[in-house]
Amino acid sequence: MVRQREGKGDPVALKEEGNALFKSGDLQGAVCCYTKALKLSDSRTETAVLHRNRSACYLKLEEYSKAEADASKALDTDPGDVKARFRRAQSFQKLGRLDQAFLDAQRCAQLEPKNKLFQDLLRQLGSAQLNSTDARVQQMFSLLLDASAKDSDRQKAAQNLVVLSREEAGAEQIFRNDGVKLIQRLLLSKQVEVVLSALRTLVGLCTGHQSRTMAIVNELGMEQLCTVMGSEASTVSLAACHLLQVMFEALNAGMKKEVRGKDEAILPEPSKELRSMFRHLLEMMPAANVSGSGRDSAINLLVKQVPRKSLKNPDNSLTLWVIDQGLKKILEVAGTVTELSEGPPITDNSHMNCSVLLSKLYDDLKSDKERENFTKLCEEYVQQHFSRPGIDGKLRAIQTVSVLLQGPSNVGNRTLEMSGMMDAVISLCASEDVTHQQVAVEALIHAADKAKRASFITANGVALLKDLYKKSENDRIRVRALVGLCKLGSAGGTDFSMKQFAEGSTLKLAKQCRKWLCNESLPATSRRWSVEGLAYLTLDADVKEDLVEDKSALLAMFELAKSEDKTVLFAVGSTLVNCTNSYEVEKPDPQLVELAKYAKQHVPEEHPKVLLVKLLEAGVVSALVCMVKQESPALTEACRECIARVFLALVGRQEDRGTVVAQGGGKALIPLASDNTDVGKIKAAQALAKITITSNPEIAFPGERIYEVVRPLVSLLSLECTLLQNFEALMALTNLAGISERLRQKIIKEKAVPKIEGYMFEEHDLVRASATECMCNLVLSTEVQKLYLATGNDRLKLLVLYSGEEDERLRKAAAGTLAMLTAEQPELCTRITGTTTHWLEILQALLLSDLSDLRHRGVVIIQNMMQAEKSLAETVMESEALEILSVLAKGGEGTPEPVSKIAQNCLDKAVEYGIIRNREGGEKGKGTEP
62: left (phi over 0), alpha (psi -120 to 50) or beta: left
- Picking from 508, 468, 506, 460, the residue whose alpha carbon sits closest to that of residue 487 is 506
d(CA 231, CA 294): 6
The set of long-range contacts for 143-151, using a CB threshold of 8 Å and a minimum separation of 24, is 144/182, 144/186, 145/182, 151/191
Span 657-679, pLDDT tens digits: 999 999 999 999 999 999 899 99
Supply φ then ψ for residue 918, to 5 degrees: -75, 135
- Picking from 362, 364, 338, the residue whose alpha carbon sits closest to that of residue 350 is 338
Query: What mean pLDDT value characterizes the chain?
Result: 84
CB-based contact 466:485 (threshold 8 Å):
yes
What pLDDT band is residue 590 in, cutting at 50, 70 and 90?
low
Amino acid at 218: N
What pLDDT band is residue 820 in, cutting at 50, 70 and 90?
very high
* Average pLDDT over every residue of 334-356: 88
H/E stretch holding 236: helix 234-255
What pLDDT was estimated at residue 313?
85
90: left (phi over 0), alpha (psi -120 to 50) or beta: alpha
Question: Residue ranges of the alpha helices (H) in 490-523?
Answer: 505-517
* Average pLDDT over every residue of 367-386: 94
d(CA 165, CA 177): 13
Q: What is the DSSP letter of 338?
A: T
Supply φ then ψ for residue 683, to 5 degrees: -60, -45
Entry pTM: 0.74
What pLDDT band is residue 9 in, cutting at 50, 70 and 90?
low
Amino acid at 241: C
d(CA 884, CA 848): 7
CB-based contact 425:447 (threshold 8 Å):
yes
Span 752-761, pLDDT tens digits: 999 999 999 9
CB-based contact 171:211 (threshold 8 Å):
no
Span 601-628, pLDDT tens digits: 444 444 466 788 899 999 999 999 999 9
CB-based contact 61:27 (threshold 8 Å):
yes
Which residues pair with residue 566 across a beta bridge? none
Span 412-457, pLDDT tens digits: 888 988 888 888 888 888 888 888 888 988 888 887 765 455 556 6
CB-based contact 623:562 (threshold 8 Å):
yes
Q: Name the burial class of residue 340, with classes exposed (0-12), middle (13-18) and buried (19+) by CB atoms within 10 angstroms of its CB.
A: middle
What pLDDT was estimated at residue 153?
75
Distances in Å between the Cα of 717 and the Cα atoms of 208, 213, 726, 727, 766 are 32, 40, 5, 8, 15
What pLDDT was estimated at residue 691?
95
What pLDDT band is residue 771 in, cutting at 50, 70 and 90?
very high
Q: Name the burial class of residue 698, with classes exposed (0-12), middle (13-18) and buried (19+) by CB atoms within 10 angstroms of its CB.
A: middle
What pLDDT was estimated at residue 107?
86
CB-based contact 814:797 (threshold 8 Å):
no
Residue 231 has pLDDT above 60, yes or no: yes
Residue 329 has pLDDT above 60, yes or no: yes
Q: Name the burial class of residue 184, with classes exposed (0-12), middle (13-18) and buried (19+) by CB atoms within 10 angstroms of its CB.
A: middle
- Three-state SS at 779: coil
d(CA 718, CA 741): 24
d(CA 798, CA 814): 8
Span 675-705, pLDDT tens digits: 899 999 999 999 999 999 999 999 999 888 9
Q: Name the burial class of residue 874, with classes exposed (0-12), middle (13-18) and buried (19+) by CB atoms within 10 angstroms of its CB.
A: middle
3-class SS string, 202-219 = HHHHHCCCHHHHHHHHHH
What pLDDT band is residue 788 in, cutting at 50, 70 and 90?
very high
CB-based contact 810:800 (threshold 8 Å):
no
Rounded-to-10 torsion of CA 88, 92, 94, 96: 180
Residue 928 has pLDDT above 60, yes or no: no
Alpha-carbon Rg of the chain, whole angstroms? 35
Span 899-919, pLDDT tens digits: 999 999 999 999 998 988 764
Amino acid at 357: L
What pLDDT was estimated at residue 264?
42
Cα angle for residues 510, 514, 517 (degrees, 5° grid): 135
Distance of CA 573 to the CA centre of its chain: 19
Name every residue whose Cβ is closer than 8 Å to that of residue 591 and which is 6 or more positions away in sequence: none
Residue 170 has pLDDT above 80, yes or no: no
Residue spans of beta strands (DSSP E) within 731-785: none
The set of long-range contacts for 135-138, using a CB threshold of 8 Å and a minimum separation of 24, is 136/160, 136/164, 136/170, 137/161, 137/164, 137/170, 137/173, 137/174, 137/177, 137/179, 138/177
Name every residue whose Cβ is closer than 8 Å to that of residue 324 and which is 6 or more positions away in sequence: none
In percent, the amount of the chain with pLDDT more than 70 equals 87
Residue 576 has pLDDT above 60, yes or no: yes
Amino acid at 452: K
Amino acid at 568: V
d(CA 161, CA 179): 10
d(CA 128, CA 721): 53
CB-based contact 769:810 (threshold 8 Å):
yes
CB-based contact 76:53 (threshold 8 Å):
no
- Picking from 750, 755, 785, the residue whose alpha carbon sits closest to that of residue 771 is 755
CB-based contact 847:862 (threshold 8 Å):
yes
What pLDDT band is residue 336 in, cutting at 50, 70 and 90?
very high
C-alpha neighbours within 13 Å on the C-beta side of residue 558: 20
In percent, the amount of the chain with pLDDT more than 90 equals 44
- Picking from 305, 329, 327, 299, the residue whose alpha carbon sits closest to that of residue 318 is 305
Tally Cβ neighbours within 10 Å of residue 707: 17
- Picking from 900, 903, 901, 927, the residue whose alpha carbon sits closest to that of residue 913 is 927
Tally Cβ neighbours within 10 Å of residue 719: 8
CB-based contact 281:306 (threshold 8 Å):
no
Helices 795-802 and 782-789, axial angle in degrees (round to 10): 100
d(CA 812, CA 799): 10
Span 145-161, pLDDT tens digits: 666 767 777 777 777 77
Q: Give the residue, 454 or 582, on which the prediction is more confident.
A: 582
- Picking from 117, 140, 139, 137, the residue whose alpha carbon sits closest to that of residue 129 is 137
C-alpha neighbours within 13 Å on the C-beta side of residue 729: 28
Q: What is the DSSP letter of 78?
A: -
What pLDDT band is residue 499 in, cutting at 50, 70 and 90?
very low
Residue 258 has pLDDT above 80, yes or no: no
Residue 567 has pLDDT above 70, yes or no: yes
Supply φ then ψ for residue 503, to 5 degrees: -60, 140
DSSP character string of 678-730: HHHHHHHHHHHHHHHHHS-HHHHSTTTHHHHTHHHHHHTSSTTS-HHHHHHHH
* Average pLDDT over every residue of 182-194: 83
d(CA 189, CA 554): 44
Tally Cβ neighbours within 10 Å of residue 369: 9
Tally Cβ neighbours within 10 Å of residue 289: 10
What pLDDT band is residue 769 in, cutting at 50, 70 and 90?
very high
d(CA 191, CA 288): 24
Q: What is the b/e burial string over 601-612, where b = at least 16 CB atoms within 10 angstroms of the residue's CB?
A: eeeeeeeeeebb
Residue 541 has pLDDT above 90, yes or no: no
* Average pLDDT over every residue of 334-348: 87
- Picking from 579, 661, 582, the residue whose alpha carbon sits closest to that of residue 625 is 661
Residue 315 has pLDDT above 60, yes or no: yes
* Average pLDDT over every residue of 868-897: 89
